[in-house]
Amino acid sequence: VACRKALDSTTVAAHESEIYCKTCYGRKYGPKGVGFGQGAGCLSTDTGDHLGLNLQQGSPKPARPSTPTNASKFAKKIVDVDKCPRCGKSVYAAEKIMGGGKPWHKTCFRCAICGKSLESTNVTDKDGELYCKVCYAKNFGPKGIGFGGLTQVEKKE
């Protein structure tokens, strides 16, 4: 009746001897509220007359927060990002690898001597720098026979 759509047996709905398309019937007599074509993101043509409401007075004002927001709290959160010890740039969660108790970029998580990419199984740290186990042993490990380094043995003639 209202929209003047062409109706057939699959698109018609009747109410008290009046016929409607299913869309108009649902709007007029169907359930109301969020989830039923009403609420957030939907336009309503219902003026609320049957409830005694006058919705034409103006748009409602947005609610103010009950407690004032502290902008410096949010700014601090953004500034408080971890810094990579090797390059000094910010390290975000998507690229963070922990080593030696500090956050590193994936690309900076390398041996300070040979540049080999490190993993949790082959990383060692000394004085805030990362080393592979081989470079660490060569440079900071014990020296002498049985520790990877040979001393010259004098021959007696």
pLDDT at position 116 is 93
- Of 105, 140, 108, 142, nearest in space to 125 by CA: 140
State the residue for tokens 């026979």. 145
Percent of the chain with pLDDT over 70: 59
pLDDT digits (tens, 9 = 90+) for 44-84: 555 556 555 555 555 555 566 665 566 555 555 555 678 99
Mean pLDDT of the chain: 74
Give bridge partners of residue 130 from the DSSP assignment. Answer: 125
pLDDT, greater one: 95 or 64: 95
Identify the pLDDT of residue 18.
82
DSSP codes joined into one string, 90-121? B--GGGEEEETTEEEETTT-B-TTT--B--TT
Q: Which domains does the chain have, with CATH numbers?
A: 1-32 (2.10.110.10), 96-140 (2.10.110.10)
Check pLDDT > 70 for residue 153. Answer: no
Sign of CA dihedral 95, 98, 100, 103: positive
Confidence class for position 109, pLDDT limits 50, 70, 90: very high
Q: What is the pTM of this model?
A: 0.43
Backbone angles phi, psi at 136, to 5 degrees: -65, -45
Per-residue pLDDT band at 108 (split at 50, 70, 90): very high
